[in-house]
Structure 1
Amino acid sequence: MPGYIYLICYAIIINLMAAISTVVDKHRAARHRWRIPESRLLFFAALGGSPAMLFTMLLIRHKTRHAKFMIGIPVILLAQCVVLYFGLQLFQ
């Protein structure tokens, strides 16, 4: 069971990074300042931050008009859930 602690810590950290990046990008957009590239936001989602990013996007209404995000993030999340499910099946 101790090996799962690293996975849980990683998930917490990457989800925090994804949520914070989304909030910072929204804040900068409102002030017409330099923005976080969309590729970086999607990269954080692909690394495992998709749950927090999707929740944050909907909560603060950021990137909700962009199909790349409103379709892409849920697809990434679904793919990650499938990989996690089958990955856990291998260790049982």
Structure 2
Amino acid sequence: MEKMILLFILIMSILSFFVMGYDKSQAKKHQQRVSERTLWTLAIFGGGIGAYLGMQLFRHKTKHTNFRVGFLMLLIVYAFLIFWLVKANNPNII
């Protein structure tokens, strides 16, 4: 079960990362954008790490305090969850 959760977080983070890049690209071209609701949904449901990294790498939504703080908080939550899941299966780590 833990491996399924970790895989889900990985897939959602990769998806969130690429969606952030796509939305930034669309913004530069003044074309149809990804809704903020979609960005938040992806970040909340497993993609917090990828969303935050995408935000930083693509310099996208960095002026929006709710995205900066919210995505950082989600990154911390998911990083802690990953650590906890890995630690549960490998008690000798740290």
In the superposition, the TM-score normalised over structure 1's length comes to 0.80
Within 5 Å, give how 1:1-92 maps onto structure 2: 3-81=1-79, 84=81, 88=85
CA–CA distance in structure 2, aligned partners of residues 90 and 64 of structure 1: 35
TM-aligned CA deviation for residue 17 of structure 1: 1.0
Query: CA offset at residue 59 of structure 1?
Result: 1.0
Over 3 Å counting, the alpha-carbon distance change for 1:60 and 1:90 in structure 2 is closer
Q: Which runs of 5+ in 1 are unaligned?
A: none
TM-score, normalised relative to structure 2: 0.78
Paired residues, number: 89
Counterparts of 2:7 and 2:78 in 1: how far apart (Å)? Answer: 17
Counterpart of 1:18, as a letter, is S
1:20-51 alpha-carbon deviations (Å, 9 max, x no partner): 11011001000000100011101111011111
Q: Percent identity, aligned pairs only?
A: 26
